[in-house]
Structures are given as C-alpha cells and as structure tokens.
Structure 1
Amino acid sequence: MKRDKLRDFYRRIFVSRPFEVYISLAVFTTIAILFGFTFKWFFLEANWEVVSANLPLYLFGIFPDDQRWRPATWLVILICLSIVTIWGPRWWWLRKILPLTWIGVVPLGIFLLSGGLGILPVASRSWGGLTLTIFLMMCSSLIAFPLGVILAIARQSELPIVKYLSAIYIEVIRAIPLIAVLFFGQLLIPLFLPLGLEINRVSRAIFAFSLFVAAYVAEDIRGGLQSIPISQEEAAKSLGLSKLQITWLILVPQALIIALPALGNQAIGLLQNTTLMAILGLVELLGISQSLLANPAFIGSYIEVYLWLAFVYWFVCTFMALLSRHLEKTMSFSKPMLD
C-alpha cells in the first residue's frame, strides 16, 4: 500500500511536472551552496575585530571616556521605556504618564549629552555613533510632528492666505531633495545669523530635518482628515461646537489614528536619512564607519563594517516598527467612530 502511494506521488511530481522539479532542485541547490559559502566566510574568514574593537565608537562616537555613562544612561532609559511600551504597562497611572515620559526623554537627552547644572559640558562635535543617530531622529520628530499637524490644519483652513501659504510651503519642501535642505541648514544658515551668534551643527541638522519631515507629516495627517466623513462635522455643529473645538476634539484625534502607520514610516525613514549627515561632517553611525575604514588597520573590511551597520539599522527600525504597531493596537478602540 505504501509502495503504491509512493509510486503515485512520484508520477504526479516527477513525471507530470519534470520542468518544475528540476527548476526547484536547481534553486535549492544554489541556495544551499550560497549558504555554505556565507556560513564559512561569516564564521571563519571575516575579520570582526573592526566591530568588536570599536563598539564604544559605534555607540558614543568620540564622547569623552569618563563621561560615556551619560549617553549610556540615556540609551538604557530609551530601551527600558520601549520595552515597557511594547509589553503594555499594567498600572493605569503608568499608562497615563507614558506619553509624557516619551516627550520628557528628549530634554533629558539634551541635558545628559550637552551637560550643565553640575555636569561637565561636552561640545556637540564630540557626539556621535548610535547616540547621535537616535538623538537626531527623536528631536526632529518631536518638532516635526506638531509642526506637521499645524500645517495640515492650515491647509484645510477657509482663510485663503493661510491655506495657500501652507500649501506652497508643503509643495516646495516636497519638491526639494533632503540633501539640499541639509546643505542649506549646515552651510547657509550661519550666513544669515548676526555676528557673534552661532548655532552648532547638531542643532542645524535638527532644524533642517524638522522642516523637511513636517511637510510629509502634514500630508499624512491631511489624508487622515479627508477620510473622516463630513457627517461627523455636521453632527458636531448641530451640538453647538465651535470650529476650533470640532478640529481639535473630533477631527484631529481621528486623523492621527488613521495616519499612524504612515507616521511610523516617516519616523523610520527619518532614522535612515540621518546617514546623510555623514556627508556633512557629523559622525553618526555611517560617519563612524567611514572613519574606521580610513584607518590603515581596518582597510578592506568593507563587507564586515556595512553588514554590521545594516544589522544595527535593521534592529533599531524593527524596534520602532513594533512600537508603532503597538500604538496602533492601543488606539484602535477609537476606529469605530469613523464608521
């Protein structure tokens, strides 16, 4: 009986579809050979000393050795806060203060990195590595998000001047490459400043990123506003709510829920776009890698360095995607309002 079943299986697969079988065998064989070569190179031939010997540089840049506890503390707080957010706090009071805690992490990072109030000041040119990458992303997001909300509401305004000015800003920024905006922030802004006033490179980068991302955030939120049925606005008017109350209490919260996936993508894209700052002299993750590859001791270790860099970005972006997905689930209770 078993022999008959095997014979039928052989006829159905190897006789009736020989071409598909041979193609599948060739593909699996190629994958196995490539996997074998990759495994051999990864564990036996690759020189991972370029990564293991420079982990502090990848994490903190050239931050002073005796002060590295400060960026390390900030990164640990971020990791703990992310884990608590993804798992979901059990206590109601912790759920209430969690959004404020996320907002407070940014000024805490500024204080720990820059110093002051009894902590040794450290110049922004000493910041670098993963710390600087995440700092640029979080500060830019904190500024770009409310600016994008204001631009989206302004573009929906009934006042022609407000509507057209916001539309012009959004369309102009979206038509300019990000690298051009960053060059403007790094090279042209100092020319317009009065004598004696100087803004460091990190602040100029945050300013440029915020202006650029705010235009895309505005379009995401505008899409959320347009997807809300007009009947909700009419019902709110019948209850006697003002235009301002309708916008901020009814329309904007629902638009944010709808736009959450797109906003999460914007945050991940912003993190990846921080690599452009390596062109302009900031030693974030990519800048650290380029400086290490210029070291005669690590010349030729391009594959190891960029594989490590890809893994770090994949890990951080995956963590951010999990945070965004959790936020979507926790706020999904408001979605029935859209029906």
Structure 2
Amino acid sequence: MRLDREIAIRLKQLRFSSISNLIISLIITIIILSIIISTAKWVLFVADWGVVNLNLPLYLFGSYPLTQRWRPALWIVLIIILTALTLCESKWRWIGKSLPFAWISITPIGIYLLAGGLGLLPIASRYWGGLTLTILLTASSALFSLPLGVALALGRQSKLSIIKKISSIYIDAMRSVPLISVLFFGQLLIPLFLPVGIEISRVWRAAIAFTLFVSAYIAEDIRGGLQAIPNTQIEAGKAIGLNNIQITQFIVLPQALRIALPALTNQAIGLLQNTSLMAILGLVELLGIGRSLLANPEFIGRYIEVYVWLAAIYWLVCMIMALLARNLEQKLSINRRNL
C-alpha cells in the first residue's frame, strides 16, 4: 500500500515535470519565432539597403583603383575556390596533397596582386581597404605568427635557461597588455626605431603588431599541446635512435599542433574580428568602410543596416574558417586512426 502511494506520487511529479517542461518549451519557441518573424519583417520591408547596394564594391575593395579592381577580385575568387576544394576534398582526393601548399601560397599571391610589381601596376597600400584588407591582415598575421608561436612554445619548454627565460618574459609581457596598446605601438612607435630612409606602410605595421601579439597566445596553446604528449613517446623516439630535433619534428610537434587545433582556430577567428580595431587607427578595413559611409550625409541614420550587414559578413567569414578547421580536424583524426 505504501509502495503504491509512493509510485502514485512519483507519477504525479513526472507528469507535472513533463507539463512544465512542455510549457517552458512552448514559451521559448514562441519567443524565438516572434524574434525571427520580426527580424525577417524588418529585413524585407523596413530596412533601406541602399547603403549596401550602392557601396558594395567599396565594402569589398575600399578605394582600390577602379581599373585595377580585378586584382583583389581575383584573389577573393581564388580563396573561394580553394575553400570549396578543401571542403570537397573527400570527393576529389587527388587534390589533397597540394592543398597545404596552396593555402600557404595564397597569402603571397594576395600580396603580389594587391601591391603589384613584376608586370602589374604598383598600388600603394593606402588604397587597400574593405573585406580585401581584412582578409589580408588576418592571413598575413596568421602566416607569420604561427611559426613564431611554435618557436616561443618550444623555447619555453627548452632546457637552456636563457632561452626559456626570454620566451617566458615575452609571452607574459604580450599577454599582460591589451591589443589596442600593441596596435598603437605598431602604428606610432615602430617608425621611430627604424633607420632614416626606411619606412614601413601602415598595413604592414598593423600586420607586425598583430603578429607580435597573437604569437604569444599561440605559443601558450601549443605549449598546452606539448604538455599533453606523454614522455613515453619521447623515450620511444630516443630508443630508435632519433635525436632531439628529429623527435620534436616528427613526433612531438605534429601531435601538439593537432591537439591545439581547436584553440588555434579560436585564435584565428579572434584575429579576424580584432582587425576591426584598425578602424580606430585610420585603416579603412571592413569596419572602417562602414564608419566612413555613416559619415556621409546621404546615409545618415542607416546605422542599423550598416552594422547588420557588417555582422553578417563577419559571421559568414568566421563560419567558413570554423568549417575549414573542423574539416582539418576530422582529416587528422582519420589519418591518426589509419596509422
């Protein structure tokens, strides 16, 4: 009798719990649907997207000369093609071996197309802007900061006390200051340390500043991957006659990079988003284009449309970067299982 009463009480509790969960789910669903409907109504019927339609080339290329805009357009198309090939690599496996070299070379190709020379009309970096400049800053900073971060991580793990101390001081110093301070240093103080007659453009000063800052965070991510590798693998490498450099190159570092890949992806996405800080310092990257358009009397009051458009572009690019990283992570997991 007592058992039947306890069962009845529990059944009532379960019914009440399921009914309350259903009510909460319905309320949340109604709220989400109302937000989606209101947003769609605003996007389709209320918002004035003329500020975007009339200035779409400006968002893409900035003030790049009109007759030469095929060069940044070609670079963006190459990136889109390379992204599609990477995501569809499982269907076309014959291109898999050439993809790493293609991704490494895409940044030098972009620099050549934008800067000119060697048969192309030279274009000063002050004319670079928009989405092209945002991607270039992200790609070049990532390309330079990854090897520097690896060197710093290995230096912090070094047995030589002087190298370990220098690496630790650099990493801790960079991680203790805000990014905007490093960017101000790059824009205002780097020219003071250069010899007379040598000048670095504002774009490359920004890339140097981003590289110096992000490499410290990359070093810590990779150091976490290095610490996750058991000492038995290092001992096994020594047992088969490998020296320390070979053990690091063939055993330790590949595994550390694979372990640190999710964290490195976050750093890359954060780097893309942090390029918007350059709008404060005068570079007309993607956010800088939006700010300059809002200063135009013709588009006064179109703040929401501009920032929604910019948010959509940043979301799209960040999503593509996350998909590429997930694709690489799955590929590395498959290769590890096949070993």
Q: What TM-score comes out, normalization by structure 1 length? A: 0.91
Offset at residue 49 of structure 1 (A):
0.4
Instruction: Give distance in 2, aligned partners of 1:85 and 1:212.
Output: 29
Q: Identify the residue that residue 103 of structure 1 maps to in structure 2.
A: 104
Offset at residue 51 of structure 1 (A):
0.5
Q: Identify the residue that residue 80 of structure 1 maps to in structure 2.
A: 81
Offset at residue 42 of structure 1 (A):
1.7
What secondary structure sits across from 1:331 in the alignment?
helix
Change (3 A) 1:33 1:115: same
Q: Identify the residue that residue 311 of structure 1 maps to in structure 2.
A: 312
Offset at residue 79 of structure 1 (A):
0.5
Offset at residue 332 of structure 1 (A):
1.2
Change (3 A) 1:296 1:115: same
Q: Identify the residue that residue 189 of structure 1 maps to in structure 2.
A: 190
Instruction: Give distance in 1, aligned partners of 2:336 and 2:144.
Output: 26
- 1:224–1:259: 8 Å Cα contact kept in structure 2? yes
Instruction: Give distance in 2, aligned partners of 1:111 and 1:308.
Output: 29
Q: How does 1:173-188 map to 2 (within 5 A)?
A: 173-188=174-189
- Sequence identity, in percent? 60
- Where does structure 1 lack aligned partners over 5 or more consecutive residues? 1-10
Change (3 A) 1:15 1:189: closer
Instruction: Give distance in 1, aligned partners of 2:329 and 2:222.
Output: 15
Q: Identify the residue that residue 249 of structure 1 maps to in structure 2.
A: 250
Q: Identify the residue that residue 140 of structure 1 maps to in structure 2.
A: 141
Offset at residue 200 of structure 1 (A):
0.1
- 1:254–1:335: 8 Å Cα contact kept in structure 2? no
Q: Identify the residue that residue 260 of structure 1 maps to in structure 2.
A: 261
- Where does structure 2 lack aligned partners over 5 or more consecutive residues? 1-11
Structure 1, residues 191-239: CA drift from partner, whole Å, max 9, x if none?
A: 1112211100011001000111111111111111100011011111111
Offset at residue 38 of structure 1 (A):
2.8
Q: Identify the residue that residue 170 of structure 1 maps to in structure 2.
A: 171
Q: Does 1:324 align with 2:296?
A: no
Instruction: Give distance in 1, aligned partners of 2:207 and 2:239.
Output: 43
Offset at residue 21 of structure 1 (A):
6.5
What secondary structure sits across from 2:159 in the alignment?
coil
Instruction: Give distance in 2, aligned partners of 1:142 and 1:19.
Output: 52
Q: Identify the residue that residue 9 of structure 2 maps to in structure 1.
A: none
Q: How does 1:40-79 map to 2 (within 5 A)?
A: 40-79=41-80
Q: Identify the residue that residue 220 of structure 1 maps to in structure 2.
A: 221
Change (3 A) 1:254 1:32: closer
Q: What TM-score comes out, normalization by structure 2 length? A: 0.91
Q: Identify the residue that residue 8 of structure 1 maps to in structure 2.
A: none
Change (3 A) 1:258 1:46: same
Instruction: Give distance in 1, aligned partners of 2:246 and 2:17.
Output: 69
- 1:257–1:335: 8 Å Cα contact kept in structure 2? no
- 1:59–1:129: 8 Å Cα contact kept in structure 2? yes
